[in-house]
Structure 1
Amino acid sequence: MAWTQVYDPMGNLGLSALIAAIPIIIIFYLLAVRRSPGQVAGAAAVVAAVLVAILVYKMPVATALTATGIGALYGVFPIFWIVITAIFLYNMTVESGQFEIIKDSVASVTDDRRLQALLIAFAFGAFLEGSAGFGTPVAISAGMLVGLGFNPLYAAGLCLIANTAPVAFGGIGIPIIVAGQVSGLETIKISQMVGRQLPFLSVLIPMYLVVLMAGWKAMLEVLPACVVAGVAFAGFQYFASNFLGPELPDILSSLACIIALAIFLKCWKPANIWRFPGEKPAQSCAGPKGHGYTFGQIMKAWSPFIILTAMVILWGLKPVQTVLDAATIKWVVPGLDKMTIQVAPIMKEATPMAAVFKINYLSAAGTALFFASIISAAILGIGPARFISLLAKTFKQLRKPLITIPCVLGLAYIMNFSGMSSTLGLFLAGTGSYFPFFAPLLGWVGVFLTGSDTSANALFSNLQVITAQQVGVDPVLTVAANSSGGVTGKMISPQSIAVATAATGLVGKEGDLFRFAIFHSIGLAIVVGLMTLLQAYVLTWMIP
Structure 2
Amino acid sequence: MPLGQTVSSAAQGAVFGLFPILWIVVNALWVYRMTVHTRHFDILRRSFGRLSDDPRIQALVVAFCFGALLEALAGFGAPVAICSVMLVALGFDPVRAAVVALVANTAPVAFGAMGTPVVTLAQVTELPLDTVASVVGRQTPLLALVVPLVLVWLVDGRRGLRETWVPALVCGIAFAIAQFAASNYVSAQLADIGAALAGAGALVAVPHARRPAAEPVRAAVLTGARSEDLDEDDPHREVLRAYAPYALIVVIFSLAQIPAIKNWLAKATQTYDWPFLNVVNADGDPVGANVFMWPIVSTGGTLVLLAGLFTAVVLGVHARVAAREWAATVYELRFAILTVTSVLALAYVMNLSGQAATIGHFVAAAGAGLAFLSPVLGWFGVAVSGSDTSANALFGALQVTAARESGLSPELLAAANSSGGVLGKMISPQNLTIACAAVGLAGREGDLLRKVLPWSIGLLLVMCLIVVGQSSPVLGWMLP
* Alpha carbons of structure 1 residues 432 and 534: separation in structure 2 relative to 1, 3 Å: same
Distance 1:407 1:462, change over 3 A: closer
1:467 to 395, 398, 406: 406
Alignment pair present for 1:119 and 2:61: yes
1:489 aligns with 2:431: no
For the 8 Å contact 2:312–2:318, the answer to whether it is kept is: yes
1:80 lines up with 2:22 in the alignment: yes
Give the gaps of 5 or more residues in structure 1: 1-58, 469-474
Letter in 1 for 2:320: A
Root-mean-square deviation over aligned CA pairs? 4.6
State the partner residue of 2:142.
Answer: 200
Deviation at 1:298, TM superposition (A): 0.8
1:128/1:398 CA distance change after superposition, 3 Å = closer
Report the equivalent of 1:408: 343
SS of structure 2 residue aligned to 1:280: coil
Query: Residue 86 of structure 2 corresponds to which residue in structure 1?
Result: 148
**Compared CA separation, residues 221 and 413, structure 1 to 2 (3 A):** farther
Deviation of the 1:311 alpha carbon? 2.6
Amino acid at match of 1:396: Y
Q: 1:310 to 1:138 in 2, by over 3 A?
A: farther
Farther-moved stretch of structure 1 (444-453 vs 254-263): 444-453
* Residue number in structure 2 paired with 1:157: 102
CA distance in 1, matches of 2:434, 2:299: 20
Is 1:94–2:36 an aligned residue pair? yes
Q: Which residue of 2 aligns with 1:7?
A: none
Residues 238 and 367 of structure 1: CA distance in aligned 2, closer, same or farther (over 3 Å): closer
Which residue identity lines up with residue 208 of structure 1 in the other structure?
V
Q: Does 1:260 align with 2:202?
A: yes
Matches within 5 A, 1:509-520: none
Could you tell me the TM-score, scaled by structure 1's length? 0.67
CA contact (8 A) 1:202 1:233 kept: yes
Q: CA deviation at 1:277?
A: 6.6
Query: Which residue in the other structure is 2:248 paired with?
Result: 307
1:296 to 237, 248, 265: 237
Q: Greater helix share, 1 or 2? A: 2
CA displacement at 1:427 relative to structure 2:
2.7
Provide the rounded CA distance (Å) in 1 between the counterparts of 2:284 and 2:74.
Answer: 37
Does the aligned pair in 1 maintain the 2:379–2:421 contact within 8 Å?
yes
How far apart are the structure 2 equivalents of 1:90 and 1:532? 35
Task: Report what 1:18 is aligned to.
Answer: none
Which deviates more from structure 2 when the two are superposed, residues 496-505 or residues 85-94? 496-505
Q: How does 1:49-68 map to 2 (within 5 A)?
A: 59-68=1-10
**1:425 equivalent in structure 2:** 360
Aligned partner (choices 343, 352, 357) of residue 292 of structure 2: 357
Q: Confirm or deny: 8 A CA contact 2:127 2:411 kept in the other structure.
A: no
Letter in 2 for 1:148: M
TM-score, normalised relative to structure 2: 0.75
| Farther off after superposition, 158-167 or 404-413 | 158-167
Residues 26-65 of structure 1 mapped to structure 2, 5 A cutoff: 59-65=1-7
Tell me which moved more, 517-526 or 96-105: 517-526
Q: Is the 8 A contact 1:142 1:504 kept in 2?
A: no
Structure 1 residues 533 and 203, CA gap change in structure 2 (3 angstroms): same
Structure 1 counterpart SS, 2:298: coil
Q: Within 2, Cα distance between the matches of 1:390 and 1:527?
A: 42
Question: Which amino acid letter does the alignment assign opposite residue 366 of structure 1?
Answer: G
Cα displacement (A) at 1:538: 7.7
Cα distance in 1 for residues equivalent to 2:273 and 2:219: 55
Aligned amino acid, residue 222 of structure 1: T
Q: Where do 5+ consecutive residues of structure 2 fail to align?
A: 89-93
**Displacement after TM superposition at 1:540 (Å):** 6.2
Aligned equivalents of 1:419 and 1:113: distance in 2? 52
Aligned residue pair count: 456
Query: 1:326 corresponds to which residue?
Result: 267
Aligned to 1:394: 329
The equivalent of 1:70 in structure 2 is 12
Q: Map Cα deviations across residues 494-541 of structure 1 (whole Å, 9 max, x no partner).
A: 9x98799899987xx999699687775554333322334355568367
Q: What CA distance in whole angstroms lies between the structure 2 residues aligned with 1:497 and 1:89?
A: 27
Deviations 1:358-402 (A, max 9, x none): 333322222222222222222222222222333333333223223
Partner amino acid for 2:3? V
The share of aligned pairs that are identical, in percent, is 27
In the alignment, residue 331 of structure 1 is paired with which amino acid?
Y
Deviations 1:87-137 (A, max 9, x none): 2222211222222211111111135555344335533555687xxx6x745
Structure 1 residues 110 and 450: CA distance shift in structure 2, 3 A = same
Residue 435 of structure 1: how far off its partner (Å): 3.2
Q: What's the counterpart of residue 466 of structure 2?
A: 531
Question: Matched residues in 1 for 2:85 and 2:469: separation?
Answer: 43
Deviation per CA, 1:5-47: give whole Å up to 9, x if none.
xxxxxxxxxxxxxxxxxxxxxxxxxxxxxxxxxxxxxxxxxxx
- Give the equivalent residue in structure 2 for 1:380: 315
Is 533-542 or 364-373 further displaced after alignment? 533-542
Q: Does 1:232 align with 2:174?
A: yes
CA contact (8 A) 2:376 2:420 kept: no
**Structure-2 residue corresponding to 1:480:** 412
Alpha-carbon spacing, 1:201–1:436, altered in 2? closer, same or farther (3 Å): same
Q: From 301, 304, 307, give the equivalent of 1:366.
A: 301
- For the residues of structure 2 that align with 1:72 and 1:198, how far apart are their CA atoms? 28
Q: Structure 1 residues 113, 457: CA separation in 2 closer, same or farther (over 3 Å shift)?
A: farther
CA contact (8 A) 1:333 1:355 kept: yes
